[in-house]
Structure 1
Amino acid sequence: MLRNPARTSGLYIGTVPEQAAATRPGTTITVDHALDVLPDVSRHLTVTELAEHVDDMAARLYAAGVRASDHVAIYKNNNFDIYILASAASRLGAVPVMLSPALDGVSATALLGRLDTPHLLTDDTKLDGVLDAAEVAAVTRGVISASPAREGVVSLHDLAGSPRREPVLLDADQPALMTHTSGTTGLPKLVIHSARSLYGRFRPQRRLARLIKSGETAAIHLSYVHSRMYLGMAVLLRKGMHVVVMNDTEPERVADLFARVRPGFVETHPNSFMEWEELASDPRRPFSNVKYFSSTFDAIHPGTMDRLLKASDRDNAVFFQIYGQSECGPLTGRSYTRKNAHKADGRCLGFPMPGITRYRLVPRNGQRPSREHPGYIEVSTPGRAIGYYGEKERFAQQAFGPWWRGGDVGFRTKVGCLHLLDREVDVIPGIHSTLEVEDAVLQRLEELAELVLVPGPNQEPLPVVCTRHGEPLDEARWAQAVADLPRMAAPIQIPLADLPRTATMKVQRIKLAADLRAQLEQAS
């Protein structure tokens, strides 16, 4: 019998569906798109069927040559089958290495070269697009495709019916999964997770899930290459919640979907929630049955929480805001209701998870950390990753015994609440907190879908704005909204779709600033 992830010191993602099927076989999973690797499979699955597909794909991967401890880099079109394929590789004791579909081919190939001659699991979208066959061949031991057969590639479609394999559970401290950092500061780092560190992330998420009724339908839009997806599925499937997995985040289609499935729990990235704000007044009332909203990865604007909570008809609807990092998982959090969301301080990230996570503030300039002199935020958690692959010294530079310095700066309030002001690399001279300025303006100008403050050519604060429907920015309203804020350059307006983003929808601020500087210099 497989070990229960809630009763061991390790969480093995390859056995999660099978464990869930043993205790909650009627749990359903609905996806809003066809699976690339299993195109004929229904979009409505039971967890038993999901476990069967993971077992099947593990057998096919074994037949393709994948063995325990091998690196299996997954770089393909964005699709829920990424979750199935990663779970299948894990079931064999291999190490899934999750590369975002949004990565360019040069970056993806560079990361492949950093690994130990990995198997590359990809598809025609990448092979016919951004990947160079010769360069890939030089850094991998072979290419496995989720698409139909082609020359020089092993197709999983041709390996249907391969003999099934028993799951391989390696030592809890060995590498079990690799994801990459958000890529907001250059070539991503490959973060190594062990089964033990994954279990350390599972614990606080399981605790939060106890507040949610099992009968609720959970609608999730999460990056398939982020560890949050695997922990989220472990919690939801174990709890027996019906899960709706979303690929399409276009507001009109989200409204149609939610009007049909009426989710009680919704989790996505902060920027996706911002994009969906306009649905708060939609006549289909897509959020009317939502009791629980959950946002991770980044701080969320208070106005977004307020509008979404007011769009729910449920008594005591709650918005959970969780602060975490790729290297550590969830760290602090707090909840908001209709009574206090509109008064929320957008820089407030809440409190550590009792008995699980801790944080401390370390001086940056010799001054005691405060709002005026924010300190480095360091955290301690059993969910901390075990390293950066191929960059041991780089990881060690951020580790101080049990403490991890993630690059954010902030301060602690009198009641112990953690406030984040900026990432250290995003600090702009003359601006106390770029995030604080963005919160204030977004609260005042509802027509804005996004505002990002970056350093201009001369390090001046340069606002980049996106309106909800592409309408021109009203300059008079802008001037009024920023009159009491630090002096900034004239705003630059671009379409929302043109913002460079990571797999978790974070804006790549450094890339955005560099692109704008290049454009401005060229224009002059």
Structure 2
Amino acid sequence: MLQRLLPEHGFYLGLMFQEAAARHGRVRVTLDRPLDVAPDAGTDLGYTELADMVDDLAARLWSAGVRPSEHVAIHKRDNVDIVLLACAVSRIGAVPALLSSSLDGGVVAVLLDRLHAPWLITDRAGLESTLSGLDISLARGVLTVDEAPGHTLSLATCAEVPRRPAIRLHPREPSLITHGSGTTGIPRLAVHCPYTMWNRLVPQQALGRATRGEPAALHLSFVHSRFYHLLGVLLHFGSPLLLLVDPDPAHAGPLLAAHRPGIVETHSHTYALWEDLADAPGGPLSNVRAYGSTFDAVHPRTVRRLLGASRRRDPRLVQLYGQSETGPIAFGWCTRRGAGRVRGRRVGTGIPGFTRVRVVDERGRTCPPGATGAIEARTRGRILTYLGAPEQYARQVDRGWWRMGDMGYRDRWGALHLLDREADRISTLDSDLEAEDELLSRMSELREVIIVHGPRREPVPVVCTRGDRPLDADRWRRATGDLPALSEPVQCRFEDLPPTGTWKVKRLEIARLLAAGELPTLSTAPVRG
């Protein structure tokens, strides 16, 4: 009875910086690009300054007319001020809806329609490109972080308005909207609330306790819920931060060398790119105690390179498996000692007290160890619904179990192994993901390889090499000799592969472009070794 009378727990973005500043004061935050909302503030800030910026932006939004529970879409060029704007929207009790700048205008229009006339925060660049053909009536009002033409209101004109106390919605009311990767079409809008977000935050705080206070470097999507939970953990423990927008090794390497992070987290494709930093001058990764991976499993070759770059006594890579709808539902880690035996698709076990994982057959029966089936999870961190598509949400829930959309199996020790996305499965391969891992391990010159369906449902490897060097046909033949039959490889520039907002590769879109003859390929023919 007493528990029902007490307020429920909640993770509130609008209070995150304020609480961190009160607890840790002027811990430093380094940016690699000035903030668009405060270009004169520089790139060396502190918890206290950022908390004040959030409070100031919240006051400006209130002055512009934004009110509690209203949806506020944030769609602007990639930068850390997306985070500050999201926290400011949350601080006045409104609901930030984070839309990736990589979305095209047609998709943005669909999502704005599903948000039911939201406020829109954007910038001149967006209004003159992606949003140029947008029906302005889809938004209640358009606010900009810079000066922009048309019927817009610049947040700069709302300066010096009175500050307001923070507003906290009920823990089970919507508080954040993010979208999925969009790998299979129009991305769905995932609705989070403080209670479900708290149930994701707490286990991640427990996992992060061992590295509390270590300097951290992050290159993550600012529109993904994972960034906010990781930021919540790091702010709670008072970590100095390096927040990167540009992952190019030539740009990020010197900053990492100067910052010397003990914690690093980025996307798996960026980790592959950062293999080049393992032996770079200044030892950019030499002080890393823990790498974090949450979006895709990191390829084993990359794991070995990253762990080998650290000079710490016992560095490890921590793998969290989940999705936007659930948060992390399984975890595991790899040490330098075990890196030679690492299997990239072993994603760990359920999080005790917070998540349970099972693998089921086509009739919903639990599969025995080693048998492949659909992965399902039960977690208190599950989103409330899909905004505008509740029927799609309902189809993925079975008596509290959430269908992850992945195929895999559990071994006899209970560890979960990921094989493929259900939508991407290729019948002639046990696992296209494992085949890709094997090829990357055998051919160091590959930056990425993606196996997709060809026009006749045949498995076609789409490959990207480091520096776009021509693929060595003899090395490719030797590397694939003992694998199931693959079609001739198609070589592309990595930058030409269609990405999601979290830099995943859109496999189904690659297959569509390949079938239509529209996939940009390198004209250089394979060479003989």
TM-score tier by shorter-chain length is over 0.9
SS at 1:332's partner residue? Answer: strand
SS at 1:277's partner residue? Answer: helix
Pick aligned residue for 2:217 from 207, 216, 219:
219
Cα drift, residue 384 of structure 1: 0.6
Query: What are the within-5 Å matches in structure 2 for residues 36-47 of structure 1?
Result: 36-47=36-47
1:102 paired to 2:105: no
Change (3 A) 1:171 1:521: closer
Q: CA offsets, 1:40-70, max 9 Å, x none?
A: 1121111111110000000111111100000
In structure 1, what is the Cα distance between the partners aligned to 2:36 and 2:435?
42
- The code of the aligned residue for 2:441 comes to Q
Instruction: Say if 1:438 and 1:452, in contact at 8 Å, map to a contact too.
Output: yes
Corresponding residue of 1:231: 229
Instruction: Say if 1:142 and 1:153, in contact at 8 Å, map to a contact too.
Output: yes
Corresponding residue of 1:187: 186
Instruction: Say if 2:8 and 2:171, in contact at 8 Å, map to a contact too.
Output: no
Corresponding residue of 1:354: 352
- The code of the aligned residue for 2:32 comes to D
- The code of the aligned residue for 2:187 comes to P
Q: Which moves more between the two structures, 447-456 or 225-234?
A: 225-234
Change (3 A) 1:380 1:208: same
Corresponding residue of 1:169: 168
Pick aligned residue for 2:398 from 394, 397, 400:
400
SS at 1:410's partner residue? Answer: strand
Corresponding residue of 1:23: 23
Cα drift, residue 232 of structure 1: 1.2
Corresponding residue of 2:67: 67
Q: Which moves more between the two structures, 168-177 or 252-261?
A: 252-261
Q: CA offsets, 1:233-255, max 9 Å, x none?
A: 11111100101100010011121
Cα drift, residue 520 of structure 1: 7.0
Q: CA offsets, 1:141-164, max 9 Å, x none?
A: 111111125331010011111111
Cα drift, residue 321 of structure 1: 1.1
Query: What are the within-5 Å matches in structure 2 for residues 282-301 of structure 1?
Result: 282-301=280-299
Change (3 A) 1:166 1:520: closer
In structure 2, what is the Cα distance between the partners aligned to 1:213 and 1:355?
22
Change (3 A) 1:230 1:522: closer
Cα drift, residue 366 of structure 1: 7.9
SS at 1:206's partner residue? Answer: helix
- The code of the aligned residue for 2:343 comes to D
Query: What are the within-5 Å matches in structure 2 for residues 51-130 of structure 1?
Result: 51-130=51-130
In structure 1, what is the Cα distance between the partners aligned to 2:345 and 2:290?
21
In structure 2, what is the Cα distance between the partners aligned to 1:153 and 1:441?
51
Instruction: Say if 2:28 and 2:44, in contact at 8 Å, map to a contact too.
Output: yes
Aligned residues: 515
Instruction: Say if 2:212 and 2:237, in contact at 8 Å, map to a contact too.
Output: no
Cα drift, residue 132 of structure 1: 3.2
Change (3 A) 1:379 1:95: same
Corresponding residue of 2:275: 277
Which structure 2 segments of 5+ residues have no match? 1-6, 522-529
Instruction: Say if 2:123 and 2:148, in contact at 8 Å, map to a contact too.
Output: no
SS at 2:82's partner residue? Answer: helix
Q: TM-score, normalized by length of structure 1?
A: 0.96
In structure 2, what is the Cα distance between the partners aligned to 1:122 and 1:475?
47
Q: CA offsets, 1:413-446, max 9 Å, x none?
A: 0000000100100001211111010011000001
Corresponding residue of 2:300: 302
In structure 2, what is the Cα distance between the partners aligned to 1:201 and 1:489?
42
Instruction: Say if 1:298 and 1:324, in contact at 8 Å, map to a contact too.
Output: no
Instruction: Say if 1:29 and 1:47, in contact at 8 Å, map to a contact too.
Output: yes
In structure 2, what is the Cα distance between the partners aligned to 1:520 and 1:146?
36
Query: What are the within-5 Å matches in structure 2 for residues 425-464 of structure 1?
Result: 425-464=423-462
Corresponding residue of 2:135: 136
Change (3 A) 1:149 1:454: closer
SS at 2:116's partner residue? Answer: coil
Change (3 A) 1:520 1:174: closer
Corresponding residue of 1:313: 311
In structure 1, what is the Cα distance between the partners aligned to 2:488 and 2:193?
47
Corresponding residue of 1:267: 265
In structure 2, what is the Cα distance between the partners aligned to 1:121 and 1:272?
28
Change (3 A) 1:416 1:234: same
In structure 1, what is the Cα distance between the partners aligned to 2:219 and 2:98?
17
Q: Which moves more between the two structures, 161-170 or 444-453?
A: 161-170
- The code of the aligned residue for 1:380 comes to R
Instruction: Say if 2:498 and 2:505, in contact at 8 Å, map to a contact too.
Output: yes
In structure 1, what is the Cα distance between the partners aligned to 2:234 and 2:439?
36
Cα drift, residue 370 of structure 1: 6.0
Instruction: Say if 1:429 and 1:460, in contact at 8 Å, map to a contact too.
Output: no
Change (3 A) 1:45 1:129: same
Q: CA offsets, 1:165-204, max 9 Å, x none?
A: 1111011001000000011110000000001011011011
Change (3 A) 1:328 1:336: same
In structure 2, what is the Cα distance between the partners aligned to 1:520 and 1:414?
45
In structure 1, what is the Cα distance between the partners aligned to 2:418 and 2:318?
17
Instruction: Say if 1:99 and 1:225, in contact at 8 Å, map to a contact too.
Output: yes
Corresponding residue of 1:252: 250
Which structure 1 segments of 5+ residues have no match? 1-6
Counting aligned pairs with the same residue, the percent is 45
Corresponding residue of 1:420: 418
Instruction: Say if 1:219 and 1:245, in contact at 8 Å, map to a contact too.
Output: yes
Corresponding residue of 1:242: 240
Corresponding residue of 1:4: none
Change (3 A) 1:225 1:522: closer
- The code of the aligned residue for 2:357 comes to Y
Q: CA offsets, 1:215-266, max 9 Å, x none?
A: x210001100001111111111110010110001001112111111111110
Stretches of 4+ aligned residues off by more than 6 angstroms = 365-368, 520-523
Q: CA offsets, 1:66-115, max 9 Å, x none?
A: 00000000000001000000100000110000000110111011100111
Corresponding residue of 1:409: 407
Q: State the superposition RMSD in angstroms.
A: 1.7
